[in-house]
Amino acid sequence: MSEQHSTRGADIRMAAEFLLVQMKLSKEDAAIFNDAVLNNPNGPGAASIIAGLLDVGTALVGMLAEARGAVTDDDKRTMAGEILRGLPGNVA
């Protein structure tokens, strides 16, 4: 595995853990947690967290598109776009 793939895998695992913690917290506690993690000089850094969260989101939307019947890569991209455009503005 290349160094880039290894780093990406680590970012994805870290982002998944980040999401799991977020899901257990109230909005106020999540904001405190986010601030502590993002501003920790010894932490993973915002860029790694964002990259990992985007990869996790991409995977989840792809899985949802497949569950809704998309088979080809073009179908998956088209359906993923429709899914994302259909999200309500207040997803949080």
- The string over 21-44, giving b where at least 16 C-beta atoms fall within 10 Å of a residue's C-beta and e elsewhere, is eeeeeeeeeeeeebeebeeeeeeb
Instruction: Tell me how crowded residue 52 is: count the other CB atoms within 10 A of its CB.
Output: 24
The pLDDT of residue 5: 64
User: Which range is least confidently modeled, 35-44, 62-71, 75-84?
Assistant: 35-44
CA distance 9 to 92: 26
Residue 71 has a pLDDT of 94
pLDDT number for residue 3: 61
Claim: this prediction has a pTM higher than 0.85: no
Predicted confidence (pLDDT) per residue in 40-53, tens digit: 899 888 888 888 99
